[in-house]
Structure 1
């Protein structure tokens, strides 16, 4: 599976020179770039930079405008308080340019209100429209003379609803997440707010999120309007169906291997795209090249990388322009690339390149950096990344540049998009682990597995096992010192791995797991949760489907688990782990559970991200290398962990001995790690 010779030359390297190493805090405070939006004249691009701050325990947002040719960057000003999606991701938005390309509008939350702000060239941004309710979205009329915005319940109505619920009790129905603190499970405007489940899964919104929406229209001219403003539906500049300035359309039709691309003129004439890429299921989006009859075609390469092709309408082939990374497409993220005149402007990142904004010349493919807010960090990175391709998909091996021995390793199985910061959810401090001599194996989730979720878990273990065997055979890793961790599906795979094998010497998870409390807390009629559970896990109610519950719920395998397990999860999800954690502790297993208040599925608060990163780093160093740091604040941590290790040494089978029958070892076959003498390493 792995080309072993690719690693041979990398095993012997000179000693590393002294420098300032990458720390967990560096990872937390990395700047992200989003929402590149082209001005109407095609000469400028607006974009947003978000940077977490440990001191403020907040995400700072700034808007910028760059000339597409790179001659000037203008810092517009603050984007207000960060707003987050229901699962914890930072909410994004696309700004709206003024018709003359000399100003733009965006929504910002300041002083407790989400309002429309307007920036004009040469001036500071001003709050333009504020309502009694938070403004959710807005649009500008076709002639640029009017604006229309949408709002829901007023801020006063929401506050009154919260007070009423607190004073009179809360009805427990299908929209209440009973695992959250009822008085408030999230922080908005510096205070806890009550939330309700807004989907059948775990998206959450504030009280009255489902109140009827209303729209308000505002005059932008200061003079009476000659007629009612017209708000046409704005066609996307990039997607499955796009329009050019003349009214032509290009559309991806069909699905998978049967799809095609069809171009239609204003007169109704159609031109089919005959090149193979137009029929590929990897074709993700289209965009018209500015002032040209050429199409840009975006082809998926894995989950995050895309190839950008230029196809002249009717030509027998397309030309590759660039390959970009960090371009995962979702319904709630703006495109990462926009096509300007003769250039493609992209926010991109790569395994060892933190986010930056670049311009790619469409003729030559040359790249020019427009904004690089992580330049200082990028200059400090000293690591090597080795791509691994296999019939099952792809993986990335991240390791020190200067290393000569077999290395301990931490596995993350899920996604490996963009900069290798912390994996999905930003929980595993990848570069700091490499700084301390621990390699990372990031594996892209295999696609196409059919059946219940445990079939996906088994396939994941098979892929992980074969990759580890190949790395062992290549002399790259120490198979007795391998850890595994993850969030969400990655945490499910990690927990399955230590339930079904004794191959891993340490594990970390960042999410709650399936349990009876998970079921009964979410199975009230009317929500749709039980249907999703049946579809994904093929699992019914615990009192009706006992055999499947014994196969899937981790409590059944407590006796077989010997791998040290650190769980750092949101408070609401920690409640799903109560029985599992208690059984582990009562059985004397090496396990710890930390719960983080006021967090959704993905941790939002910078101080919490830092704490999780730092503890995971310490955990893997302790169990994979026997290292402790001489920090008095962590004395209690290491006292507990030494006790866990002493108890574990009495229970762990010798390396290579069979796993207890209940754990079903499956395809993986290495024993647990032997104990390593403790050393002090700062």
Structure 2
């Protein structure tokens, strides 16, 4: 289950509930032209209370959303509150072409950023549209705060529509062609609202609403907004509610791990609409919802364009490649530097193409290339930073950037020189936080597959005392926050005296074989769990490498994980004695619950991926991955903090561990999904994981695994 959901949604970090903001009213700190009379004072604005953009609730204090004008000189350790309160924008997925959450005005003069900030005390979110004047970079941004729920992502999963993931839906503002207005989407009352903001006076005007807005664009004259709405979601929910009055027939629409009611089947029906936008200064509410009209035509594709897509062959190789259309002719670039392309754009006013590709050891670096119309491809820059959500302007490529030590910021990339310059930092407070020593590690497992990790060391540590180690999974690229799913606060753990190894799992074994041109039967790889073996071998190799760098307390090595990371952790508990503590976010893959408790669609999904069924005839295969079937031999304390919609997965394991007398703590968080979205829950998970690690580090672990941990050949598996 874990691999299916995480890959289809392309997960990485992540949250609904009401979000409220507070701040001065429209125009405070601005003169009649909207400029700030006192440079350095952040401008703020809000609407009145029309149609869903109302006054902010007193339930949430949102003063922390304001970007500070200056940062103090004092340096302190990172606390969990620093991680929870980061100002986020765009998609948490590390995708160069994903929704950026920001937009540069066509004239290049302004930058709009749609930001969100968690508030654990209220269990809500503060949200605002920040507008930066790029021509006057010393001027503080205008902050237009608004009342809204956090829009959350849904997906199609094995034919089930509207499947919730818990991830925030990345919302990106959209400038009008004349750069005089900016439109954005906010979610309120269970539906999306189209809102237009005036960057001069801060007035925000709601113009339309729909159940779920999938895309939006301005007309060329700026008189209307055209958008696509997934209207079918609401109709499907209403139909299910009516069906439920007579009882649901249990069929392939159920995914009972997450819900005991069926999901809509098939993709939602989308409609296209347009709505007139009132001229600047027109009264709020002048374009009510009932003025929307059908809009059938689609936006024409640019005659010159560039993109990336996967090669169809070889199967399973998952090789992305650069494609371009110039002068009406499409070309799939066959050069080596066009493989593993991550994003591509035609520079405005030219036919030149700038593109990013993953390269370097384990493809962990980002290369920036320029492909001129009448020339070759030139690499302009190579960086270990991750560039995400990029868009072009006539002057630069503008991207979100993630570095290991800092939250995402916004940078410009010069397409002529490759120079990268910070444009906007939404979290300047992080400059005043202690920076631990972070060392990038590189290794190959015994299958020859490369992987990387980041070893994060405490700022203050006794060099004569071995350190407890916590392993966090399973993609270490970008900002070192909390691992996949964001539940294990890396910097806060380091501040408490732990060494932390953040690792990326190696390339899928079948993908590795496909890229090497080696034939294989997927059924055999699954039955033997070869990918799990490869990932486990990589993990063991990483631990050996860490021990060559620093002194580790072998009695106190912990492993954490969500989704695929949880599968890796469970496999490690079964096949080694390296770990005396496991902190898990999801659990587990056991034969009974996998075949009976998930419903027809889930079981069929596993069968399609050649899971060994019927399990009674494939017992030896399941014993390699089932924690329940190995409960009596487990030699580690286990803590599980699961979403209520995934808690059923753990029941077989919990019962077996209790019966075997093994220590296990199980916490269930209400109204949660695969990625937990509620700020209060995230803070509680952070704090409980740290407290569990501290308590474990201060006591002697179970004696059953000590001999193996103290052995000289600690990389030898116990099976």
Q: What is the TM-score normalised by the length of structure 2?
A: 0.73
Q: Is the 8 A contact 2:233 2:268 kept in 1?
A: no
Asked if the contact 1:33–1:356 (Cα under 8 Å) also holds between the matched residues in 2, the reply is: no
- The answer to whether residue 78 in structure 2 is matched with residue 22 in structure 1 is yes
**Structure 1 position 155, deviation (Å):** 9.7
- The answer to whether the Cα contact below 8 Å between 2:509 and 2:531 also exists between their aligned partners in 1 is yes
Match for residue 591 of structure 1 among 651, 664, 676: 664
Secondary structure in 2 matching 1:307: strand
The corresponding residue for 2:715 is 668
Distance 1:580 1:273 in 2: 50
Which residue of 2 is the match for residue 439 of structure 1? 499
Hey, what's the Cα distance between the residues in 2 that align with 1:512 and 1:234? 47
- Deviations along 1:619-641, one digit per CA (max 9) or x if unpaired, are 11221344xxxxxxxxxxxxxxx
Match of 2:488 among 407, 413, 428: 428
CA distance in 2, matches of 1:588, 1:417: 39
Of residues 125, 129, 132, the one that matches 2:208 is 129
Task: Report how many aligned residue pairs link the two structures.
Answer: 581
Match of 2:88 among 32, 36, 42: 32
Map 1:585-624 → 2, pairs under 5 A: 585-624=658-697
Equivalent residues of 1:274, 1:316 under 8 A apart = no
Aligned to 1:355: 408
Q: Please report how far the alpha carbon of residue 603 of structure 1 lies from its aligned counterpart in structure 2 after TM superposition.
A: 0.7
1: CA distance, partners of 2:375 / 2:170: 37
Computed over aligned residues only, the root mean square deviation of the Cα atoms, in angstroms, reads 3.6
Structure 1 CA distance for aligned equivalents of residues 205 and 572 of structure 2: 54
Task: Check if 1:119 corresponds to 2:197.
Answer: yes
Give 1:454 deviation, angstroms. 2.5
User: Matched residue of 1:51: which SS?
Assistant: strand
Residue 82 of structure 1 corresponds to which residue in structure 2? 150
2:384 aligned with 1:310: no
Measure how far apart 1:160 and its partner are.
5.9
Bigger CA drift: 43-52 or 568-577?
43-52
The answer to whether the 8 A contact 1:308-1:321 is kept is yes
Partner of 1:513: 588
Would the aligned equivalents of 1:345 and 1:359 in 2 still touch at CA under 8 Å? yes
- 1:90-105 equivalence runs, <5 A: 90-105=168-183
Q: Decide which of 435, 442, 454 is 1:396's aligned counterpart.
A: 454
- Aligned mates of 1:69, 1:234 — CA distance in 2: 32
Given the alignment of the two structures, is residue 41 of structure 1 paired with residue 120 of structure 2, yes or no? no
What's the TM-score once normalised by structure 1's chain length? 0.76
| Equivalence map 1:522-671=2 (5 Å) | 522-524=598-600, 527=601, 529-536=602-609, 538-543=611-616, 545-626=618-699, 649=702, 652-656=704-708, 668-669=715-716
- 2:569 maps to 494
Measure the CA separation in 1 of the matches of 2:691 and 2:236.
Answer: 43
| 1:218 aligned residue (267, 275, 280) | 275
> Runs of 5+ in structure 2 lacking a partner?
1-72, 91-99, 154-163, 280-285, 312-316, 445-449, 511-524
Residue ranges of structure 1 left out of the alignment (5+ in a row): 1-16, 183-194, 200-208, 236-242, 328-334, 627-644, 660-665, 672-682
Residues 590 and 668 (structure 1 numbering): CA distance in 2 closer, same or farther, change over 3 Å? farther
| Worse-superposed segment, 413-422 or 165-174 | 165-174
Alignment of 1:437-516 (within 5 A): 437-450=497-510, 451-452=525-526, 454-515=529-590, 516=592
SS of 2:545's equivalent in the other structure is helix
Q: Is the 8 A contact 1:66 1:370 kept in 2?
A: no
Q: Give how far 1:58 is off.
A: 1.6
**1:103-154 deviation digits (Å, cap 9, x = unpaired):** 12222112443221111232411111135x4545444444444444444559
Shift of residue 496, structure 1, vs aligned partner:
0.9
* 434-443 or 29-38: bigger deviation: 29-38
Name the residue aligned to 1:411.
471
Q: Match for residue 11 of structure 1? A: none
2:304 paired residue number = 248
> Compared with structure 1, are the counterparts of its residues 129 and 284 closer, same or farther at alpha carbon in structure 2 (3 Å cutoff)?
same
Partner of 1:377: 430
From the superposition, tell whether residues 303 and 93 of structure 1 become closer, same or farther in structure 2 (CA, over 3 Å).
Answer: farther
Residues 357 and 367, structure 2, Cα contact 8 Å, conserved in 1: yes
1:237-262, Cα deviation, whole Å (9 max, x unpaired): xxxxxx4xxx3344557737998656
- What's the CA shift for 1:234? 5.0
1:300 aligns with 2:358: yes
Following the alignment from structure 1 to structure 2, what is the Cα–Cα distance between the partners of residues 260 and 597? 42
Q: Secondary structure at the match of 2:167?
A: coil
Q: Distance in 1 between matches of 2:165 and 2:696?
A: 31
Per-residue deviation, 1:30 = 1.5
Partner SS state of residue 471, structure 2: strand
